[in-house]
A and B are shown apart, each in its own frame.
Chain A
């Protein structure tokens, strides 16, 4: 038996070397594609895509790396959009401070929601997050500063650091891209940190983690707040891109959409949700002008995904023969 495990152990190390090489190549290709993309695609569409990609990755931090299915992430995304829009429009905050306000606001909301939800698991956890996000939805509907059904309109994009004019879409695109990349680096570092290691061990075997002396609830809360803050980063960004914040972003459908994006792309893969978000946003864009109802299409795709490729696009790719040859591995 020990003979077998040793032979199993060897290729693992070699594989991780190939993996880091392929990762580097794919990373460079991805970056070049993102930098050149505005030459070929409509920038607003690309910015929308990046915002949702970041949102889905933030959500995946919780679902994929902590094993908690939140059904209330619209609160952080939409909440941050309102906070950013409000402080930028009414208080004249510069864009960077506006987004920071959104992030801090979302983190605080995450702390409150997480505090109540973290004590339960599975369906109860999902239901508590849903209930709290519905409460937040009605708060946004009634509160003065959100301007109710109208939403906060014509939010100025302002000047980044006081001198980069963001009103043009080229400048704005590269700003969004930079924020997106910073968000991704934060997520990557978070899951590959000592803290991330404990999160993984909790997901793998929670009673064992407790018996090793870890206060599991605190780690889960930490992940929840981090996920909320990053969802807030995406939401604040979106408010600046579209120059408005409305009830759509805090509605429960948004929480559902982000689950769909993450599932489609691949739960527990770092970049899967980017592709999931890309697919959903692209479909919505193309189908918006056709007669065909978007929800039916996304619904069918969702069912196909769950029935046929449960690992999601990227998860299936990692697990495929080609993916394994390139040195990827799918953990779950």
Chain B
């Protein structure tokens, strides 16, 4: 907190960083020597052509994969050898490329499952399920903040693709994470949902760090403060969108996809 006052002009503090991150699958190097600094209150985009290793970087950062080399630090703690659920409890929460909802639970229950752990209501096997009703107020708040109020009691499986992604963001926010990793949050969304989600991300990034993989470059240009371009597992370029998009190497790597 004190940092914000003294460092008004400087970049905010780094909350998640990776140094020399590498991952090989057999002889194939999916990620090579990646350095990454994700800062508080900033939206950081990870872009690159298909197969550049963006999702692998996500899996490494959230420890769903174990890096072959390199180190990861979260909020000053080395997490290179920490279990994924432990990392989530430390405040680094991710979303998935394929929508990650609990399909046969209602929207409300999806959010409540996310709220259960911190409220200490996850191991009681002797209490009725109605004991979870005291999470409803907070859950409804989150549901409303992402505009899912009308679908509150619908099964997640019945939602459209875009709405599922929105629900996923609501469950992620329920954990009140310090760092949010969003894997293609806009993929497959209609224009209206993209607008909603962009606003949500902008809003949550005021108090948190966001790292997102995104293909939609107009979204990246619109909401991201910092862009890292990956190609074949390596960092090709870094900087704000204006700088990166002028880089000739990025332009060659990205030609064709920019228009889409």
> Which residues of A approach B to under 8 Å, CB–CB?
1-2, 4-6, 8-9, 12-13, 189-190, 192-198, 200-201, 204-205, 207-216, 222, 226, 331-332
Contact = CB atoms under 8 A, between A and B. Distances in A.
A175 to B, nearest CB: 24
Contacts of B62: 211
Contacts of A6: 150-151, 154
Contact of A198 (B96, B101, B116): B116
Contact of B126 (A1, A4, A193, A213): A193
Given A6-B151, A201-B102, A212 B125 contact: no
Given A13-B153, A213-B117, A208 B84 contact: no
A171 B186 CA distance: 66
Dominant SS among interface residues on chain B: loop
A12 B105 contact: no
A325 B126 CA distance: 31
A194 B132 contact: yes
A214 B83 CA distance: 11
A9 B156 CA distance: 11
B94 A200 contact: no
B175 interface: yes
Nearest to B95: A211
Interface string B99-136: 01111110001001110110001111111110110000
Give 6 nearest A-B pairs by CB, closest first. Answer: A213-B88, A195-B125, A208-B100, A204-B102, A9-B154, A1-B160
Contacts of B125: 189-190, 193-196, 222, 226
B129 A208 contact: no
Given A192-B129, A193-B124, A193-B126, A214 B153 contact: no
A1 B163 CA distance: 9
A9 B124 contact: no
A198 B120 CA distance: 12
Interface of B: 62, 64, 83-86, 88-89, 93-96, 100-105, 109, 112-114, 116-117, 121-129, 131-132, 150-155, 158-160, 163, 171, 175
A67 to B, nearest CB: 12
Contacts of B132: 194, 197
Nearest to A10: B153
Contacts of B89: 213
Most central of A194, A198, A209 by chain B CB within 10 Å: A194
B102 A207 contact: no
A218 B205 CA distance: 33
Which of A4, A9, A193 counts the most chain B CB atoms within 10 A?
A193
Nearest to A16: B153
B85 A194 contact: no
Contacts of A13: 153
Contacts of A1: 159-160, 163
A235 to B, nearest CB: 21
Contacts of A189: 125-126, 128
Contacts of B88: 210-213
Contact of B154 (A5, A194, A205, A209): A5
B123 A222 contact: yes
Given A1-B160, A196-B129, A214 B122 contact: yes
A196 B126 CA distance: 10
B99 to A, nearest CB: 9
A191 to B, nearest CB: 9
A214 B114 CA distance: 9
A214 B102 CA distance: 14
Contacts of B85: 210, 213-216
B105 A201 contact: yes
8 contacts: A193-B124, A193-B128, A195-B125, A197-B116, A198-B116, A207-B100, A212-B88, A214-B85
